[in-house]
């Protein structure tokens, strides 16, 4: 998904959002457009911290947006909902972005709900091809990505999964090589879920792939192999936006002070589409597993934990989390820390999506392939990383950034992309 | 304050507590005795983390306790209060420690309230020598320390200030050299407060000095010089036990995620003796300054802050802190984090005091002199350290610990103390 | 369960606790004994408010305690657990009550777990008669109550159900008359649960019956008829101790201010035996229904609600409830009230049990029979009362108390009990 | 301030707001206009409860609005601020009210800051007559009220003080009769503050007067006499909108359950103009006194209390209150209730202002004069009422409403106003 060295000096980067009409995608799109127009400041973006300034990360103007979707609502309307319900962007800001939103709307293609569970499937209200095998779906999605790259003359495309959480598939019996797995795609009962088909389509066409959800995505070993075979890269999973972010910040404190956590209870309430899907126990289970595992990793033992996510319609996108941490102080004295987090879920997620895209774009310029472990601080369940402490993870990002201080190619120098030329759609 | 190499193979370490009948001292003493008798586990002690196991830190049996005090209440009674009011140690545990507590009671000497403000002075209910100059006080306190070292045959004495918070003295016009400052001690209106006289007495007699309070202590440059002149060491100030610990953990998260903190409000309520003294606005001001400064250092800008500490008698030693953090998310969206911390103040402080003593004892064996910056994670206002992020501070401790992995002398090897022999009381 | 007019001038009142070794019973017993010995003040007892002083409610010395149980643990041990884990009574207080506790232990009889669900049945660790029909169980329990009354020479016995919550039986197909229901007791598959058999045994022998749990108890119409037939009385159900008490106080405020509650979420965490039993979904369902219904009654509409009860072992008897109330202010502006309640569950329940006993004892002296609606303020689901506002319910109690101002018989005047003489066991 | 019986069948009621450009006034005005246009529902209005439907309270169309102000900002702009900052009304709603807002702007007259303290005085940015005596101010304000009544052909005018809180004057040496007090108005150093001069002007011209602030207003006995002399009425003081409302709901629960409140701490943070004025310790003191007194009245004893109000700019009109209530349960067991209230201050106040106006209008039709005690539930410090329990106060309103069930004159029947005709401006 590359093109000839850019003569105007600016690369064109495609952002392909899976679930492009959802809350996270809408907030990401409105945010990017508002940044481009100078309507908002860049607060909330890690990639804008001064310590990353030397990296020459992609500018707001570099991005071209498209995506897959299974619902027919209007992107513009969704953006206005972001503006009003989330009280995030002003109505005026959206008015100013109307033209671009309509242009993006034309770049949306029908997605898939293959093995995504009944709750997600029930959301479909557009014509999605029926009766396809997994292989046919992958081929269709790949065509969409190639067409996007060609029509928009893109140097690179980054695919981000921001769709609803799927029920967690059993992946224990998946083959470990791409050769074997690709054969399975033709089976009538291929066990891979939609998120993995999107991942395969992305990686097979040389796109970078980021899984912002707890769905399976590129997690299987065979799909990771595919990424390396195609000289491309991936990262995941499940954006660390709120309660879990706090867990990864607070748990290391209890560990460093040798304060034994006896129980950690977390209750999450919110009322957006994500909440509605998570109201299905199968989908919720995938999310809870992702939110729960890190405590044991950080503490070195497993305290009693309880996590709940409840769909409370009146809250809309405003998620409230109450966490109650019961710990044993010196001499066994029981003490308590409670926190209440009130944040707008999509607005918390959007800047992480943008950060991930910008850091991934640099990784692509630098020719990094395979799993991007240095992005661990952005994920609840970072693939390939056992370190769950937030500061430690953030240091991984800082170290990656300073490694590149000496030899980062500029955005306009696209030499390193040559090795992708064989796998991408548009021949130059 | 050393002695000849210990023939039995175990060093004897003196702990000299200033304010030995206060809550923190009582919890420290009961805790140490209970650890020695195996009545409690070592939870809450950083120095017991497995990553510090190779350091061979001083064993519970190594410690001999004495101290200065201005109040006449019984140490035993105070310990029973710890047991009941704080619900920390069991009554049975205290019963088992009764003999030792009575022995410690015999090692308590009258302290001083020189320039410690009216509120602290009003607490005095024992005969404390009147009309002394600062120099006379230092001489008297030094005699107490020397006598303690000799009578108990101690290898080293570590003095810890756990007395009530003094009003903050103006230190701008203090001389910067020990030569000049020591001359000022004879002035009728020497501006140094009690905490600094204790520090001078400690350092001048070769003891290590730790300031667990926000009082001035060893902060003046001239007193730091004294520490180096006497080949001894000090650290401070103000133990980081609860709300401020959380600030130093949470603020780096907001910084790393580029989330602008708009306001940070912290309300602390508790009802112990510390709270009673802090009810005096002059004393409270010193504490608030110590609790407030770190945010600006960590964030790189100063959000609006408000901190209050209120004496609420019914809470006793159980401090409750409510913090309300208002921050701007992406697109300027205002969001909120609140936390409620309910901890027993003295029981939170005691393990830090023990940790500080054990790490300081190792520093003494290793011959480190001057300011011990690697202890920053234990303090609200770490002297000589601008890093206020907790994980970063904790890394300083971890690095110090791993540096010593190769060449730490064993506890029984006291060669490195020879350079102190000229300044200590008991000639060997 | 009466006796001849008391010649000594003091009535003897039996308290028969079902689940006498549980937390609520233990706290009630320890509390009553401590009150009798003057070891504690009477704080927490509504019946001690000055406005009820004229009622001459039964004195602490009047009470004799016995009960049914299915577990074999020692009552004394349980009392010591109350003392330590709940930090409610001092160890010394329990020491002083040891003799009485041992005397009460001798008055405990095996209970029943008939239709009480698998979780409760699994707690049984004593010999309980097997294979009894419901009728045989009622006969056995009735014998226990009669024996208690005779051996202790009691004027009246009040039976209180403080056992674990049963799964809620389907009661729709129960006959509405006592004649029919009593016939069903001989059926092999009589649908009544243990709590109703206890209620029948109590009422049939002329005892008063109070259901402090959400179990079925005396709720069926036919059992209410039995109470009136035997000239005795009952009340229930489910003691209103914490979160639900607050709901019944706060919801009327929202109603009076015409503030529409959009959602009300309540999360309860605790770790006592009650919590362990409620961890069984069948048992929990009964409790949740009891906690949830009142909002609709008070508000006049049903907001979205979510209530959870989770067993978090480290909390023991200390229940923490977090409630999040989302309401629409003027112009539809969404606003939020959250509360956090931290109370010791058994210690909250015990004074209500004592209050209920004392008010019931007076109702018995006054000759009131049937359902005691004036006790509504003590219950989550007051039988026969649709008013759920706490202040309104409390006014019902106040009005009942002032009605009796003129014509309340004194405790020593037992004329009004003559009509019970035909139904009670011990002829005088 | 009456007119001849309305021939069209609808009374015209004047609302005169003191501080008409403040947040509470703006929210009240926008709310009333939006109600009139059917843009919002009537949620949040007590007067719209079905139990008051029979009262035929004044319709939204009845009201004509004017007011006094000392600041020059535009009422329209302030309304847009309400819309955006408070997220209360939609921008579209305000657009629709623009014409009316501009009409109201023409009815605004310069007020006074006489004895209102330096902080309030400093807010003045319009030409306000200088050097007037109190008598001259009263005359000027009275002229404004009379002109309003005449120009708008009003049947009655209700003056509501929604201006900033004044420092509390010492009123102990004020004369108790209107004859004496009116003479003092000519003194150069008359001690009455602005709020009382407004009250005098209102009552002397036959208007009703409502004090929604803790300022002195009509509290002095002599001013109450004036109200009765002029056959008019008043009520106050200090609208009970948030934290104090909860106190008056929760404290009766602790009382009824005989749970001793040991301490009650309340921290309030917000950043609107009211907060800015309350940042002045003199003004804050008046507010704190009003928020604090009720606990002792309800509980019958004075627990330790601490209330703080802090100006935190980022919060704007969104007030957050954290209350920590420490109480002794049975056997002295300490327990805790905490609540966090997050409400928009002006939007909470506005419906109470409207309710007060509507109930007062009915009282005027019914010929009630003097202090309106039945409005106690709306005030933190209800004049002439010692009952502070909210439900009890609400019952006073319900009883007043049902008293009038039989003999309430209709809105169109203005017979009862004849006795006011001598004192009002416009002769008929």
Residue D228 lies in a domain: yes
Name all chains with 3 or more CB-CB pairs below 8 Å to chain A: B, C, D
Average pLDDT, chain A: 88
Residue D1 lies in a domain: no
- What is chain D's alpha carbon radius of gyration, rounded to the nearest angstrom? 21
Q: Average pLDDT of C109-137?
A: 91
Q: How far is CA D278 from the centre of its chain?
A: 17
User: What are the pLDDT digits (tens) for B85-117?
Assistant: 766 667 777 888 899 999 999 999 999 999 998
pLDDT value at residue A5: 40
Question: Is the separation of the CB atoms in D26 and D81 below 8 Å?
Answer: yes
Name the residue of chain A whose CA is nearest to B87's CA.
A333
- Give yes or no: residues C176 and C276 share one domain: no
Residue D254 pLDDT level (bands cut at 50, 70, 90): very high
User: What are the pLDDT digits (tens) for B265-289?
Assistant: 999 998 877 777 777 777 777 777 7
Q: When comparing pLDDT for B259 and B293, which is higher?
A: B259
Cβ–Cβ below 8 Å for D328 and C43: yes
Distance to chain D for B312, nearest Cα, Å: 7
Q: When comparing pLDDT for D297 and A172, which is higher?
A: D297
- Give yes or no: residues A314 and A193 share one domain: no
Identify all chain A residues contacting B27, using CB atoms and an 8 Å cutoff. 330-331
Residue D5 lies in a domain: no
Q: Average pLDDT of A314-330?
A: 94
Domain holding C138: CATH number?
Answer: 3.40.50.720
Q: Determine if residue D45 is left, alpha or beta; phi over 0 gives left, psi from -120 to 50 gives alpha, anything else beta.
A: beta
**How many folded domains does chain C comprise?**
2
Domain holding A256: CATH number?
Answer: 3.30.360.10
Q: How far is CA B213 from CA A207, B198, B235, B353, in A?
A: 57, 13, 11, 11
Name the residue of chain D whose CA is nearest to B266's CA.
D267
Distance to chain B for C93, nearest Cα, Å: 14
DSSP one-letter string for D130-192: -S--HHHHHHHHHHHHHHHHHHTT-SEEEEEE-SPPPPPPP-TTS-SSHHHHHHHTTSTT---
Distance to chain B for A395, nearest Cα, Å: 10
Tokens 């799909």 identify what position? A223
- Give yes or no: residues C151 and C298 share one domain: no
- Give yes or no: residues D107 and D232 share one domain: yes
Q: When comparing pLDDT for B241 and C409, which is higher?
A: B241
Of D262, D267, D315, the CB nearest to B322: D267
- Give yes or no: residues A101 and A226 share one domain: yes
Question: Does D416 have pLDDT greater than 50?
Answer: no
User: What are the pLDDT digits (tens) for C342-382?
Assistant: 999 899 999 999 999 999 999 999 999 999 999 999 999 99
Distance to chain A for D19, nearest Cα, Å: 29
- Give yes or no: residues B59 and B30 share one domain: yes
> In whole angstroms, what is the distance from residue B77 CA to residue B99 CA?
13
Alpha helices by DSSP H, listed for D330-370, are 345-366
Instruction: Give the CA angle between residues D67, D72, D75 to the nearest 5°.
Output: 60
Instruction: Single out the residue in A319, A344, A369 at which a domain terminates.
Output: A344
Name the residue of chain B whose CA is nearest to A330's CA.
B44
Question: Does C421 have pLDDT greater than 60?
Answer: no
Question: Is the separation of the CB atoms in B354 and B347 below 8 Å?
Answer: no
Least confident of C161-170, D196-205, D373-382: C161-170
User: ipTM above 0.85?
Assistant: yes
| Best A330, A355, A398 residue to mutate vs chain B (most B CBs within 10 Å) | A330
pLDDT value at residue B277: 76
User: What are the pLDDT digits (tens) for B352-410?
Assistant: 999 999 999 999 999 999 999 999 999 999 999 999 999 999 999 999 999 854 444 44
Of C312, C320, C326, the CB nearest to A315: C326
Distance to chain C for A294, nearest Cα, Å: 19
Residue A302 lies in a domain: yes
User: What are the pLDDT digits (tens) for A71-122?
Assistant: 999 998 888 877 777 666 677 778 888 999 999 999 999 999 999 988 888 8
Structure tokens at D281: 């310790």
Residue C7 lies in a domain: no
CB contact set of A1 (below 8 Å; sequence gap of 6+): A14, A145, A146, A149, A154, A155, A156, A157, A205, A206, A207, A420, A424, A425, A426
Identify all chain A residues contacting B350, using CB atoms and an 8 Å cutoff. 330-331
- Give yes or no: residues D261 and D386 share one domain: no
Question: Does D118 have pLDDT greater than 90?
Answer: no
Is the CB of residue D340 less than 8 Å away from at least one CB of chain A?
A: yes
pLDDT value at residue C287: 72
Of A49, A246, A329, the CB nearest to B44: A329
Tokens 């405020």 identify what position? C253
Q: When comparing pLDDT for A428 and A149, which is higher?
A: A149
Residue C211 lies in a domain: yes
Of C43, C256, C336, the CB nearest to D332: C43
Q: How far is CA D323 from the centre of its chain?
A: 24
Question: Does B415 have pLDDT greater than 60?
Answer: no
- Give yes or no: residues A328 and A367 share one domain: no
Residue C1 lies in a domain: no
- DSSP-derived 3-state class of residue B19: coil
Structural domain boundaries, residue A336: 243-344
Cβ–Cβ below 8 Å for B315 and D263: yes
pLDDT value at residue B53: 94
Identify all chain D residues contacting A340, using CB atoms and an 8 Å cutoff. 340
Identify all chain B residues contacting C91, using CB atoms and an 8 Å cutoff. 91
Q: How far is CA B327 from CA A242, A379, B293, B324, B341, in A?
A: 13, 21, 18, 10, 20
> In whole angstroms, what is the distance from residue D353 CA to residue D39 CA?
19
Identify all chain D residues contacting A87, using CB atoms and an 8 Å cutoff. 87
Of B312, B324, B340, the CB nearest to D304: B312
> In whole angstroms, what is the distance from residue B301 CA to residue A246 CA?
22
Q: Average pLDDT of A23-44?
A: 93
Residue B237, preceding peptide bond in cis (omega within 30° of 0): yes
Instruction: Specify the pTM.
Output: 0.91
The number of helices, as runs of H, and strands, as runs of E, in chain A is 13, 11
Question: Is the separation of the CB atoms in A381 and A290 below 8 Å?
Answer: yes
- Give yes or no: residues C295 and C272 share one domain: yes
* Extended strands (E) in A171-294: 208-211, 233-236, 260-270
pLDDT value at residue C96: 86
- Give yes or no: residues D105 and D19 share one domain: yes
User: What are the pLDDT digits (tens) for A5-30?
Assistant: 443 458 999 999 999 999 999 999 99
Residue D373 lies in a domain: yes
Cβ–Cβ below 8 Å for C256 and D348: no
Q: Which residues 251-310 on chain B approach chain A with CB closer than 8 angstroms?
A: 252-253, 256-260
Q: Which residues pair with D236 in a beta bridge?
A: D211
Identify all chain B residues contacting A257, using CB atoms and an 8 Å cutoff. 44, 46, 245, 351
Residue B231 pLDDT level (bands cut at 50, 70, 90): very high
Distance to chain C for A311, nearest Cα, Å: 9
Terminal Cα distance for chain B, rounded: 10
- Give yes or no: residues A259 and A234 share one domain: no
Question: Is the separation of the CB atoms in A97 and A79 below 8 Å?
Answer: yes
DSSP one-letter string for D48-104: GSGGGGGG-PPPGGGEEEEEEES--S-HHHHHHHHHHHS--S-HHHHHHHHHHHHHH
Instruction: Single out the residue in D316, D344, D372 at which a domain terminates.
Output: D344
Name the residue of chain A whose CA is nearest to C307's CA.
A310
- Give yes or no: residues D307 and D376 share one domain: no
Name the residue of chain C whose CA is nearest to D41's CA.
C331
Instruction: Single out the residue in B322, B343, B364 at which a domain terminates.
Output: B343
Residue B413 pLDDT level (bands cut at 50, 70, 90): very low
Question: Is the separation of the CB atoms in B132 and B394 below 8 Å?
Answer: no
Is the CB of residue C340 less than 8 Å away from at least one CB of chain B?
A: yes
Is the CB of residue A347 less than 8 Å away from at least one CB of chain B?
A: yes
Q: Which residues 85-114 on chain D approach chain A with CB closer than 8 angstroms?
A: 87, 91
Least confident of B143-147, C208-212, C284-288: C284-288
pLDDT value at residue B418: 30
User: What are the pLDDT digits (tens) for C319-350?
Assistant: 999 999 999 999 999 999 999 999 998 999 99
């Amino acid at each position: 998904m590359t093109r000839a060295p850019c003569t105007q000096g600016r690369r064109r980067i495609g952002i392909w959002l899976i679930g492009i009409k959802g809350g996270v995608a809408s907030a990401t799109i409105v945010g990017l457009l508002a940044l481009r127009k100078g309507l908002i400041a860049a607060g909330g973006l890690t990639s804008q911290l001064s310590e990353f300034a030397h990296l020459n990360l992609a500018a707001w103007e570099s991005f071209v947006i498209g995506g897959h979707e299974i619902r027919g609502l209007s992107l513009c309307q969704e953006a206005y909902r972001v503006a009003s319900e989330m009280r995030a962007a002003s109505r005026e800001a959206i008015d100013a972005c109307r033209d671009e939103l309509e242009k993006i709307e034309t770049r949306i293609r029908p997605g898939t709900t293959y093995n995504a569970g009944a709750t997600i499937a029930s959301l479909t209200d557009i014509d999605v091809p029926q009766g396809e095998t997994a292989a046919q779906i992958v081929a269709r999605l790949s065509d969409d990505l190639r067409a996007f790259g060609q029509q928009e003359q893109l140097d690179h495309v980054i695919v981000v999964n921001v769709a609803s959480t799927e029920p967690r598939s059993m992946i224990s019996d998946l083959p470990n090589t791409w050769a074997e797995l690709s054969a399975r795609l033709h089976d009538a009962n291929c066990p891979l879920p939609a998120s993995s088909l999107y991942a395969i389509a992305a990686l097979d066409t040389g796109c970078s792939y980021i899984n912002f959800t707890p769905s399976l995505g590129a997690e299987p070993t065979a799909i990771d192999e595919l990424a390396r075979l195609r000289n491309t890269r991936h990262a995941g999973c499940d954006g660390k936006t709120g309660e879990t972010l706090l867990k990864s910040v607070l748990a290391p404190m209890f560990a460093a002070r040798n304060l034994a956590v006896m129980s950690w209870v977390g209750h999450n309430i919110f009322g957006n589409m994500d909440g509605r899907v998570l109201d299905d126990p199968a989908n919720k289970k995938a999310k809870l597993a992702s939110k729960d595992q890190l405590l044991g990793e950080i503490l070195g033992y497993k305290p009693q934990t309880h996590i709940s996510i409840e769909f409370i319609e009146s809250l809309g996108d405003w998620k409230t989390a109450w966490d109650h941490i019961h710990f044993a102080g010196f001499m066994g004295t029981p003490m308590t820390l409670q926190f209440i987090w009130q944040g707008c879920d999509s607005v918390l997620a959007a800047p992480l999506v943008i950060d991930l895209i910008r850091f991934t774009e640099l990784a692509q310029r630098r020719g990094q392939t395979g799993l991007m472990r240095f992005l661990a601080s952005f994920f609840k369940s970072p693939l390939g990383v056992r370190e769950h402490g937030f500061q430690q993870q953030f240091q991984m990002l800082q170290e990656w950034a300073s490694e590149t201080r000496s030899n980062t190619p500029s955005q306009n120098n696209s030499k390193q992309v040559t090795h992708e030329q064989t796998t991408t759609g548009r021949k130059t």
